[in-house]
Structure formats: structure tokens, C-alpha cells
Chains A and B, each alone.
Chain A
Amino acid sequence: MPVTLVDRLPLPNLKVYTAGSVLLLSVAVYYAVSVTNDPNWRTNTTVQALEGAAQGPTGDAALSPPPLRAPLQLTNDTGNVTEQMVEVISFMMQEPLCIWTLVNGAYCALGVAGCALRRLVFGRLRVAEAQRIKDKFWNYVFYKFIFVSGVVNVQYMDEVLLWCSWFTLLGCLHLLAQLCKDRFEYLSSSPQPARWAHARLLALLAGVLGAAGTLLAAAARWGLPVGRDTFAFMAAECVLVGVTALHVVARFVLRARDADPAGPAAYYTHLVFDSVSLATELAHVAHMVVHCNALVSMASLVLLMQLRHLLHALLARLRRHRIYTALAHHMRRNYPMASREEVEENEDNCAICWEPMKEARKLPCSHLFHNSCLCRWVQQDASCPTCRRALSAAADAARRPRPPRPLRPLHPLRPLRPPPLAPHDPHAPHGPQLAANVNRANHFFHFDGSRYVSWLPSFSVEVRRVRADAPPDPPADSQLEAMARQVQQVFPQFSLDALSEDLAHTRSPDRTVDNILAGRLLPHPHQHHQQHQHHQRHGDVSHAEEPPATVTAPESPGPAEHAPGPAEHAPDRFGVLERPRDSGEWQVRFSVSAAERQRTLQRRKDQLLAAARRRYLLRDRRQPAAPPAPAAPPATAAPAAQPPFK
């Protein structure tokens, strides 16, 4: 609607358009004033209208009978201005050119108002939102055109004008409601606690609802006398807007009451709103088809297609619901809901949606999921998402489970991620003892506000003691080499390259020596990075059986047991997690602002690339003739060769 048009065109164009409209309007007003200054204008124009209004008003020159109103105007001086305004307006309403100018002015005002409202409530539209609005706008215009031209049998221009203005108003409301819906979905997925944005959205929604109600009343007031059909056409649109807006409000309420986003309350709310909206639209279109002038016309064809589409959508929605209820019934019969204690004990989130569970269904393999998440998944594949145990013939399976499939790690999984406070600096020396050190040195504070009220922020603060002796800059190559020689005097079995590579990471001969003593650095030239390899290659199936005493996850349970990593990260939904990296590294932080996140991501990418390039050139220079290493042997050997940590 105007909002989109405004958005489609660059803003100066709106200004130009507004300026043009204002200019046009003032010209029209000036013209009307000058015409009405002549006391005889009424008769003139009447005469002219009889002659043919198309000629345009040149009437002040024409002769005319004596004025009717002249005495009044002369007697009452204060009433003069109002009188004249009434005159001007009534003239403008009669004069076709002026009417179009007025209509244009009204649309312009609507456009400006829409733009202002959009700025006030939504700020900049996201591309997806703008696209959606654009589609909806053209779709709307198309169907209303069909309606006006093909369904209601309009004879006069003013009738068309009336319908147009009616649909314009409703269209605005439709688009605003749609925008609210999109924006709310975006807000609820973004980690930013946007209370003000929510409040503005709610205010706008209330406005939309109020306007829809007013329009409905107007339809009853003026549409009903014209005929039931007219009233139904008018009312249907109002109801549709109302349902859309109410649906968004219902989402707000669900969220504010902290309802399980996949729970039955949410499910049935969406179901009711979806089907009411679809059914209303269906009835509306069906009514139009019935009311169509000619059954075989372009309009009725388009409407029938639309009808078919809506019917399909409604049936699909109901079918989905039937499957859902059937599955829900099946699950209710075969798998009990987890008891309250079990849910509380289970600290992981639902593995499907990664959101916390208030109540959960328990599968025979004792994995917990949201009821509805599970239902949606089971429609695709009847197995436990985590361990892949089949759920088909579930009634039997519950009682006598299949001969236990080997619960080998089924997917290339990494064991549970390290808790968020473990260091993730790849350059820092690894090892459990070090992790313990860091744990001791770190203060980790976590506040989960959403446990109290959903919109309260959650945040974690990690205070980390940065080693004061860590040099801020990576040492220069010559320095590295000197340090490497120093270390090599003690450990001659190590190549200079391997040592300087490690020194580039540790930046201190002492720590490199520590690494060697701890067995983290092996004389083999290709294994000085085994930690990294190990880390990266954790995904491989063949390594997943190894004992969980790995660096990354010292106490992780076996892969088959664990729910996904997010369990530890999801609680701080709003992501104010400070993670200072030591020694001059950038701080990785999941910002609340999208732009900031985008910048951080770009910077990280650039840094990764730059580091890789540097590393590559370094390696290239050191071993100019060496062919790249063969792939398999060192890679598989590395984790196995890893000695136990002390």
C-alpha cells in the first residue's frame, strides 16, 4: 500500500510527490476560491454542468441570474469565512478536476502518514519484510481490481471511488497487520531484548484492531442499508484484518505468559487462528463467486482459482491437524510424559528446537523432547532423533525393544562441547590441567532473567585473569628462531621448524618446553599439531569410540547419550557473553545488535583467512620443495599416538 509504494520509491520521490500534491491542491483551492468569490458561481456551474462538465470551468465570465446568498454574506461578517469555506468545499466536490486533486491529496496524506508510522514503529524495514509487503500489496490490488471490475456491478464513478477508498483503508490495515506479524516473528527470534519495539508493535496492533472495528461499524451503518451482500463484502475484509491482528496479539500473550512455544496451548491457538482466517477468506471468495455477474468471465475464473487454492490450504491445515492429533494420541498411549522430576533433572534443552522444556515426552530410550517437536519430527521419520531407535510399531517397541542396536556413535558427532568457560583459544596450550587452572582463575557469573520474567535479560559474565607476562604481539621471525634454537639445545630431537611453529603459538620457550614435557609436542614434523587435528577431526566416526578423556571434553558422556551442545549455551538467550581472549586476540562476543554481529563475523572471517595465508607462506618458505603430506596416515595416527596427560 502507500507504505510499500513509499518504500519502493526512494524517499526524495515521496517528497517530490508530496510537494506536487500540495502544489496541485493549493492551485485547486485557489481556483475554487476565485470561482466562489463570484457570488453567482453556483448557477454558473449548474448551467455548465448541464452543458457538459467535461469542458472545464470557465464559468465566471458567463452571465447569470442575481445572487441568492449575497445578502447573507454581507450581513454576517464573521460567518463570512466559514461560509466561504463551505462554498469552496462544496464547489470542489462538484468540480471533477478538483475532486481528483482532493483524492490525490488524500492518497498523498495517507502515504506520508504510512511512512511516518512505519518509521515510528518499525524503523527500517528488513528486506524480507519489504518483499513480503510488496507481494501482499500487489496481490491485494489485483484481487480488489477483480472485485471492483468483475463482482460488484458499479455504474458510476463515485461508486468506484467509494470502493477504492474503502479498500485503500483496509489495505493499509492489512499491510500493517502483516508487518506486525513479520516483525514480531523476527523480534522473538532475535536475541535482543526489545521491550520498546514490542510496546510500539502492541500499540500499533491496538490501533489496527480499533480501526478494523470502526470500519466494521461503518460497514454495518452504511453497507447494511445498501444490501446484505455489500455488507458481507465489507465486513469480511474487516474480520480478516482483525483476525490477523488478534493472532499477533495472541502470540504476544503466549510469549508473555512464557508458554511453551511448541506446547499444546500455542498449537491450538495457531490452529484456531489459521483456520478461522482461512475459513473467512474462503467464504468471502465463495460469496464473490456466487455474486459474480457472469459465471463465465475472467473475474470468476480468477476467483475460482483463488477459491481452489484456499480450499487446499484449509484442507491441508486440517489434515495436518488430524495427523497431529493421531500422532499425539499414539504417543500418549505409548510413551508417557516425563515426570516433573525427570524434566527437572534433565538439564538439556529439547534436542529438536534447542529450547528449554517445561514438560516433555519420554521415549523408550529415555530421551526427552517437546511433545509437538516430536510430533513434527515423527511425521517425517519414525525414530528417536537422538539415538535413532525406531519408533514404528511403537506399541511393541515400547514393551520389548528391538535387540539393542549397537549404540555406537551413529553420526559423526563430537562429544559434548566443553562448558562455555573452558578456554577456546586454539593457541593456548591444551590439557586438562590447564583447563583446571583456567577454571580456577575465572569467575563465571550467570544470571538467567528469563527464569523470572520472560523479557528479563539473561547474561553471563566471565572474568578472566589475563596472564600479565604474555607478550602482546607475536614475536618476529628472527626472535622465534632464536627461541627455537634455545629450546632445540635442550631437545635436539625436535626440528627447528616444529619448535618455531609451536613457539609461534606459545610465544614463550618455557611453555613450549612444558608442551614437550607433557607430550603435546612430538618430534614427528607432522604431529606438532595433533591437538588441532584431533580437535578438528573429532567429527569422524572412526574416532568417536575413543575414550572420552579428550582435551575438549574431559567429562563428556558418550556421544550416543548426550543431547546437543546448546544445553550449556542456550540459557543466556540474550547473549551478553563476554569472552575476553588473552594476549591481543579480539574479543568474540555475540552482540545484541545485528549490525555488530555482522561486523564481528566479517572480521573473524578476514582474520581466519589472513592467518591461514600467513601460515601457508611460512610453511612454504620453510619447506620449499616438500610435497604436501599424504592425507591419511598422520591424520589417523595423531589421536592414537597421543599420550595420556599427567
Chain B
Amino acid sequence: MPRLSATQRHSIRFTLNGTPVQGEAEPRMLLTDFLRHVLGATGTHVGCEHGVCGACTVQVDGALARACLTLAVQVQGCEIRTVEGLAPAPGRLSILQEAFRRHHALQCGFCTAGILMSLDAFLRAQPDADEAALRDLLSGHLCRCTGYAPIIAAALDAAARLRETAHA
């Protein structure tokens, strides 16, 4: 690990949703602030900055991470995926996003980015996840609007459709 001077800005490069990005930040800058305010990728939200609410969840090299507990300098050279990278094309939604819309699994939508990122990774790893497994996963996220029932319904629906497309 290189030693970084705390008082200096450092160049940070990584891949964001498949595109190389670059910016400068002090070592103490959170990944949430870097994504949102340096790169302008505001889809990742901040709900607590202490790792509980899950709103800031992103994928770092395929693994789930709380962007609010990650320093921007830590993802040097990594592949980052955020909610902006989920849709297959502009103007279209992924199977998971469609299911959220169909089931009214979002209201204010502030928690949604993090939940989508978690479900996206989880359903890829465990396409047969049942309700209990999904509830367990979702317990890492707070949603104050929906009461979770429509999120569970959307996740189960998306899982079923993803299995179908995988077999098709």
C-alpha cells in the first residue's frame, strides 16, 4: 500500500460502470462524496454515513460495499458499479428495475439505488433465492416508505424472470 500524504490531493482512477474515470481528492474523502460531487454521479445516495442504512451501497469489483465507509483512494484501479450502470440502455430498464416499477417497490426512491445494487449482486450469485434469503439480504437496508412488502414482491418476481431468461 503506498503511503499518501493526508494534506495533499491525489489522483484517483477507476472504472465506473465500464467507463474509466479520474479525479482528485484528499485521502480522507469518502467514496460517496467522490462519486457524487467530484464525478457528478448522484445516483448513489447518502442516508446515514455510518454504515447502517444501506442507501450508499455500490459494487466494488463485484462485491457489495458501503460507499460511505469507503475512502475514494481505496478504490484506485477498481471496477465500480452504481445504479447508473444497471439499465441495459438509455430509456430502458433492467428486469429488476422493471419489477420495482411494476410492484410499486419504491416511493421516494432514496433508498432504492442501494437496494437495487444489493439485489443485483445477490440474484446473480443466488438466482434461486427464496423470500427468507431475500429478507435476510434486505435487512442491510432501511426503507422508510414502502414497508418492504412491495420490495420483496418485486425481488421475487425479478428472480423468477431472471431464471426464465437464463433458461431461455
Are A and B a genuine interacting pair, yes or no? no
Chain B residues within 8 Å of A, Cβ to Cβ: none
